[in-house]
Amino acid sequence: MNQVDVTVIVAPRSLDAPLRMALAHLEHQTFPSGRFEVLVVDAIPDAHLAKTIESFAAGSPVRVRALEAQGVPPPAAFNRAVEAAQGRWLLFLDETLLAGPECVAEHVCAQERNGALCAILGPIRLHSQADDSAFVKRSWWYPALAPSAAVPVSFLDWRLFNLSLPRRAVLDAGGFDEEYGASGMWDIDLAWRLSQRGVTGLFMPTATAFAWKPVSLEQECRRHYADGCGLRRLQHKTASPELTARYGPVLSSWRKLSDAWQAPVARRLCPLLASDTRLFDVMCRGLFRHALRQGYRAASFGSGR
């Protein structure tokens, strides 16, 4: 088997993830198909993704494999994927995203151009054929980052949505901390350790992935709750001033009171609003802060996931 340069890791979390569509987009990359592979982490109970992958891989120009991780918490499942990967670099794509035709090539180019010891973040844009009225705008679309130039990025933004990392650096750092279990922010935990080892983060505007599958408000609230559960552990492990600066205001008392009062109203009002309105964004941000704070409180009292 020829050595590949990149392993693209996709981990569907639900049966309605656009897996076949995501794999089809990875077949049509400008990067040579023989130089990368796709590893699908099969962690959904009774989903039998291996059969789907096997049937798809039979006619694919790209090597596609399934990795069984049934009943395994996310950090452990991703550690298995890192161990099984054949590529020099790992490209993590969220289950809801479709890779743009230049996505893999631009990640590789950016890694090689910057000393192959970088975390490369690509932009996430709404697919031109997607229904923008059905989308909850996720905080991980990096809206504040420069759209037309490569810029440094804090480790706090190295989420596993459209991110490439050197595989050897991940292994040398010990991989993902499996003690997080089902809590969130275990990817930021690894990002912090990598940054301490000299890995730098860079936003690459040409390594584009596209959002296709609508994300519900409830799904995003659950993700922020999980992040809140993991935030407490992350604080104790890193004692990072950057972490405090970003999340300290979210946990402040005045935010807590205003968001708690606003949350019931927002839950009733958001389904009635168009998702591209400013009021919808304001309501969503309040709900997400409230969910994160609830997760943080649950972890503080020992009831976090």
Where do we find the tokens 């291996």?
A: 50
Angstrom CA distances, 181 to 43, 77, 275, stand at: 14, 10, 32
What is the domain count for the chain?
A: 2
CB 12 within 8 A of CB 75: no
Is 114 in the same domain as 228?
A: no
Structural domain contains residue 305: no
Is 45 in the same domain as 108?
A: yes
Is 191 in the same domain as 150?
A: yes
The DSSP annotation for 219-280 comes to HHHHHHHHHHHHHHHHHHHH--HHHHHHHTTTTSHHHHHHHHHHHHHHHHHGGGS-TTSHHH
Is 101 in the same domain as 122?
A: yes
Q: Rounded distance, CA 126 to CA 99, Å?
A: 12
Tens of pLDDT, residue by residue over 202-252, are: 989 899 999 887 778 888 899 999 999 999 999 999 999 999 998 888 887
Structural domain contains residue 1: no
Which residues of the chain fall below pLDDT 50? 140, 143, 146-147
Tens of pLDDT, residue by residue over 5-23, are: 999 999 887 666 678 889 9
Nearest to 197 by CA among 120, 301, 118, 293: 118
Spell out a b/e string for 25-34, using b for 16 or more CB atoms within 10 Å of the CB, else e. bbeebebebe
The token duo for 145 is: 């980052």
Nearest to 270 by CA among 261, 260, 279: 279
CA 285 to chain centre: 18
Domain harbouring 118, CATH code: 3.90.550.10
Q: Rounded distance, CA 189 to CA 89, Å?
A: 19
Angstrom CA distances, 297 to 41, 194, 253, 258, 263, stand at: 31, 28, 13, 16, 16
Is 229 in the same domain as 196?
A: no
Q: Rounded distance, CA 92 to CA 164, Å?
A: 6
Tens of pLDDT, residue by residue over 120-131, are: 999 888 888 877
Half-sphere exposure of 139 (CA within 13 A, CB side): 19
pLDDT score for 268: 87
Q: Which of 165, 181, 211 represents a domain boundary (last residue)?
A: 211
Residue 261: give the domain boundaries: 217-300
Is 231 in the same domain as 267?
A: yes
CB 97 within 8 A of CB 162: yes
Is 104 in the same domain as 149?
A: yes
